[in-house]
Amino acid sequence: MGVVLIFRDISKEYELKEELLSQQILLEKSASLAKLIVLEIDLKTEKVRANQNAYSLLELDKKEELTLEYLLTLLTEQDKKLFREKINKLSSRRTPQPLNCSGNRLKN
């Protein structure tokens, strides 16, 4: 029976993971201070991932699952139209599309 040992320096990997974690924490703090909601929407399943700030601003239990259908109820008709345009762009470009909405419940 043979044994193969592989050694490699993982310090760079570790540093990158630490930097990513640091950036994620900074993003979350910034979003909280600016009262921003950051969403990731899977267009195939219509499942939504949101930052922690979204739940507090929308006054939702963190155990609730956000859906695209629910999010649309929060938007004004004008913002719904803008949202659909952004979704169409996403489908063709596959790049993040920023969207500034006032929303029915988000006007505060």
The answer, as to whether pTM is greater than 0.85, is: no
The CA radius of gyration of the chain, in Å to the nearest whole number, is 19
Distance CA 93, CA 3 (A): 48
Distance CA 97, CA 14 (A): 31
Q: Which of 8-12, 84-88, 96-100 has the lowest mean pLDDT?
A: 96-100
Predicted local confidence at residue 22, as pLDDT: 94
Task: Give mean pLDDT, residues 59-80.
Answer: 84
Residue 42 Cα distances to 22, 55, 70, angstroms: 25, 18, 14
Please, which pLDDT band fits residue 97 given cuts at 50, 70 and 90?
Answer: low
Predicted local confidence at residue 87, as pLDDT: 78
Task: Give mean pLDDT, residues 78-97.
Answer: 76
